[in-house]
Amino acid sequence: AGSKTYGPMYTFHLGSRPCVVLSGYQVLKEALIDKAEEFSGRGDFPAVQMWSKGNGIVYGTGERWRQLRRFAIGTLKNFGMGKRSMEQRIKEEAQFLVAEFRKTQGQPFDPTFFLSCAGSNIICSLVFGERFEYTDEAFLTLLDLINKQSFSLLPQLLFVFPNIMKWVPGPHQRIYANYLKLAKFVGERLEMNRQSLDPNSPRDFIDCFLIKIQQEKGNPSSHFNEDTMAKTTVNLFFAGTETVSSTLRYGLLILLRHPEVEEKLHEEIERVIGDNRAPCMDDRSQMPYTDAVIHEMQRYANIVPMGVPHTVTRDIEFRGYSLPKDLNVIPLLCTSQSDPTQFRNPNTFDPTHFLDEAGRFRKREAFLAFSAGKRVCLGEGLANMEMFLFLTTILQNFRLKALMDPAAIDLTPESTGLGSIPRPYQFCLLPQ
């Protein structure tokens, strides 16, 4: 709403600090893509800084961030972020998820827990080299920590009023405590990996990091140490668990509201995949409607509306304004996804936003669910694989049944600070 009042760029003060907000596709593109380097700094969230001190991928800054990111992308690629092995893991997890869903026997249930388990297990298999049963104690503790952390309004207040909030008791103190618990969990896994490490055949992300630490031992200015490793790993969990599971949960609710869309998805799945084999990523190119629906789910659900704050890396001129180095910049990604000059019906769920006249899938520049430029989301390829394989596997096995008239389903999100999540709901899955 701010941009309607203030235009595509406006400044407001967070406590004592000026902060520039960017909104609308045009200005976001100019900043994040055309001037990617200048806008690639990371704003500081005091709640996170208390713990991460600029370490890790999501909140790291400067040269350390560049090296970590390069390493993470390389490692995740080797473990098949976008390669076969990762696809295999997601396909397996999708079958475990379907098996859990079967146990509901067509009775009403809330999918939140199962979808979180599935999303988190993908990150576990990447980082720890293994998945967990949905009943595993350690795994459930981990999930609980991530859930508590991800969608809390207080971190935003902490970002705004760091000096005051340090002294105010409340959930942000718990955020810090949760980070420490998560780091402890990661630390224990790290120790297990170290005991059985074979430098010639790394099993997972942690092994790769341990090997890298060994290689850099003689380099005093190296950014690779156990502290950075724990923080990077925790970052991967936060970034990778809730985002996919919340989008899927929103996606299923959208399908309950639009049974005609679900019907078309079933037709495409039946035509391209049939029911004798599991869906795989090669199917996607032949399934433009499904691809469009998934993109539209991400656009409409807008799970991370704000984008994580950036900072300007040097003094620059931008759109006639002088922006000083280290100025905080908030890219309102949601304003690109709902920009009426880019999407015909921005406030309506409409898969044709991502289809051309001939029904082929079409990419949209204004689709910024994963941000853009130097800070584009590390997990974009992984998230898209999960969305495609989880959704098609669920729909290959079940039909969705709403507990009320579809037209009465409320799609307005519960806004919880940093993210939009769908209101809790129940539905039935009927095996087919």
Whether the Cβ atoms of residue 369 and residue 361 lie closer than 8 Å to each other: no
Predicted confidence (pLDDT) per residue in 175-185, tens digit: 667 767 777 88
- Residue 389's pLDDT is 98
What does the pLDDT average to over 83-106?
A: 91
pLDDT over 60 (residue 106): yes
Q: How confident is the model at residue 191 (pLDDT cuts 50, 70, 90)?
A: confident
Most confident of 45-49, 160-164, 225-229, 384-388: 384-388
Q: How confident is the model at residue 50 (pLDDT cuts 50, 70, 90)?
A: very low
For the chain, give the percent of residues with pLDDT over 70. 74
Q: Tell me the pLDDT of the chain averaged across its residues.
A: 80
- Residue 58's pLDDT is 45
Predicted confidence (pLDDT) per residue in 364-378, tens digit: 888 876 666 655 566
- Residue 156's pLDDT is 42
The answer to whether 334 is a known ligand-binding residue is: no
- Residue 239's pLDDT is 66
- Residue 52's pLDDT is 47
Across 11-15, 51-55, 210-214, 398-402, least confident range: 51-55
- Residue 281's pLDDT is 94
Predicted confidence (pLDDT) per residue in 405-423, tens digit: 999 999 988 765 555 678 8
Most confident of 37-46, 194-203, 240-249: 194-203
Q: How confident is the model at residue 43 (pLDDT cuts 50, 70, 90)?
A: low
For the chain, give the percent of residues with pLDDT over 90. 32
- Residue 110's pLDDT is 96
- Residue 76's pLDDT is 64
Q: How confident is the model at residue 157 (pLDDT cuts 50, 70, 90)?
A: very low
Higher-pLDDT residue of 332 and 259 is 259
- Residue 44's pLDDT is 52
- Residue 279's pLDDT is 98
